[in-house]
């Protein structure tokens, strides 16, 4: 079979046939292994409650066959006699394909981690934080893969490239320093977690419920319905009041009675208020005192705590207390003070 000794592109037909016989079985092996393993782990994932099977099947499903084909072609090319430059580029492309596939698998792991976290927390607390962390994890992953791939390309000096990027990065950073400040602030929010999605916060003169924590801005839904968009850097530069993390709500209020109120009734007022507050299931009485002599009234200050931070529950309790005080004062004959003036007329 003389044609096997014919030379094509510097290699005999027999050598090309050997390369083909190496490439095709490897391709078939890759394809079969992916199908068999994927089917097996999916079956186990349906039959068991373990998360490991779900992770492995999810990662295998992200396998890109064309990247594996690049590796198979490179394995077959090893038996060929190639020019040095072509051999170097083929090795670099094969390594780039391998790195790309590893990056895709790692990206699938990040997706699974974020999905598990969101499932455990019900889409509420910490989900926005994890999205930011996931973005930076992907950014670091693909940056590392790109640098490793470039480092193995012929005639490419990654050190010089990194140095050039460093100088250019300084210029870009100066031009977009506000954007970078918001980006770093989002990372600080992700790790420090002064608030999460669903928290009711007050920032300066603005208040609302956190709807989304982005890379540059955070979006709040105000009590009146409009959406407030505040940059992350401004948020961290402000004093934030987080009402969702309130364990108890302290309430202080003052009532005034007239100066004509008899002494014995004045003496009973603190005990009367205490009795009213202790009758409320969500209220914890702290104190009630005759505070001061006002210009128009005798002032009594009362302090109590709500055992829940819910604002609606606080208003319901305060309403019940106010109504009970009004009724008991009427029964006791205690008059509330109101703005008034007394005019004394001399007989002369």
Question: What does the pLDDT look like over 77-104, one tens digit per residue?
Answer: 877 777 777 777 788 888 888 888 888 8
At residue 91, the pLDDT reads 81
* CATH code for residues 249-332: 3.30.70.100
Separation between Cα atoms, residue 332 and residue 322, nearest integer Å:
15
Asked if 298 contacts 266 with a C-beta cutoff of 8 angstroms, the reply is yes
At residue 161, the pLDDT reads 59
pLDDT band at 343 (very low <50, low <70, confident <90, very high): confident
Asked if pLDDT for residue 318 goes beyond 80, the answer is yes
Quote the radius of gyration of the chain (alpha carbons, Å): 37
Buried b / exposed e along 27-54 (16+ C-beta atoms within 10 A): beebeeeeeeebeebbeebeeeeeeebb
At residue 55, the pLDDT reads 76
Rounded average pLDDT over 274-294: 94
Separation between Cα atoms, residue 196 and residue 280, nearest integer Å:
32
Find where tokens 């962390």 sit: 133
At residue 1, the pLDDT reads 59
Separation between Cα atoms, residue 184 and residue 326, nearest integer Å:
55
DSSP tag of 281:
T
At residue 264, the pLDDT reads 92
Determine the straight-line distance between the first and last CA of the chain, rounded to whole angstroms.
148
Alpha carbon dihedral 327, 330, 336, 342, in 10-degree steps, equals: 160
At residue 12, the pLDDT reads 75
Separation between Cα atoms, residue 188 and residue 325, nearest integer Å:
48
Asked if pLDDT for residue 218 goes beyond 80, the answer is yes
Separation between Cα atoms, residue 305 and residue 307, nearest integer Å:
6
At residue 151, the pLDDT reads 74
At residue 7, the pLDDT reads 67
Domain ranges of the chain: 2-154, 181-242, 249-332
Query: What are the start-end ranges of the H helices in the chain?
Result: 13-47, 51-61, 65-77, 84-120, 127-151, 158-175, 177-192, 232-236, 263-278, 311-332
At residue 46, the pLDDT reads 67
**Domain spanning 181-242: which CATH class is it, in words?**
mainly beta
Give the torsion sign (CA, 133, 110, 113, 220): positive
At residue 162, the pLDDT reads 63
Asked if 272 contacts 266 with a C-beta cutoff of 8 angstroms, the reply is no
Asked if pLDDT for residue 24 goes beyond 60, the answer is yes
At residue 181, the pLDDT reads 79
Average pLDDT, rounded, for the chain? 81
């Amino acid at each position: 079979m003389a044609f096997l000794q014919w030379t094509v592109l510097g290699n005999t037909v027999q050598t090309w046939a050997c390369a083909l016989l190496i490439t095709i079985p490897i391709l078939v092996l890759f394809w079969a292994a992916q199908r068999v393993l994927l089917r097996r782990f999916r079956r186990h994932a349906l039959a068991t409650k373990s998360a490991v099977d779900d992770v492995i099947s999810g990662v295998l499903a992200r396998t890109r066959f064309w990247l594996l084909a690049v590796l198979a072609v490179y394995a077959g090319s090893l038996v060929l006699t190639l020019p040095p430059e072509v051999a170097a580029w083929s090795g670099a492309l094969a390594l780039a394909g391998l790195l790309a596939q590893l990056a895709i698998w790692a990206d699938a792991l990040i997706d699974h981690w974020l999905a598990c976290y969101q499932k455990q927390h019900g889409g509420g607390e910490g989900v926005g934080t994890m999205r930011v962390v996931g973005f930076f994890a992907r950014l670091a992953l693909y940056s590392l893969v790109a640098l490793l791939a470039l480092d193995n390309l012929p005639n490419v000096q990654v050190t010089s490239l990194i140095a050039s990027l460093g100088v250019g990065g300084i210029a870009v950073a100066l031009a977009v320093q506000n954007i970078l400040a918001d980006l770093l602030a989002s990372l600080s929010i992700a790790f420090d977690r002064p608030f999460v999605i669903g928290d009711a916060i007050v920032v300066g003169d603005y208040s609302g419920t956190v709807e989304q924590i982005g890379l540059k801005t955070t979006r709040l839904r105000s009590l009146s319905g409009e959406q407030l968009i505040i940059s992350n850097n401004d948020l961290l530069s402000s004093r934030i009041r987080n009402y969702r993390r309130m364990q108890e709500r302290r309430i202080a209020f003052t009532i005034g009675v007239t100066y004509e109120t008899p002494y014995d009734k004045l003496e009973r007022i603190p005990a009367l208020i205490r009795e009213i507050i202790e009758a409320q299931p969500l209220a914890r009485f702290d104190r009630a005192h005759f505070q001061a002599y006002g210009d128009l009234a005798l002032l009594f200050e009362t302090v109590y705590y709500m055992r829940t931070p819910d604002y609606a529950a606080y208003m319901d309790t305060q309403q019940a207390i106010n109504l009970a005080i009004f009724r008991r004062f009427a029964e006791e004959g205690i008059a509330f003070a109101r703005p008034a003036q007394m005019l004394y007329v001399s007989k002369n």
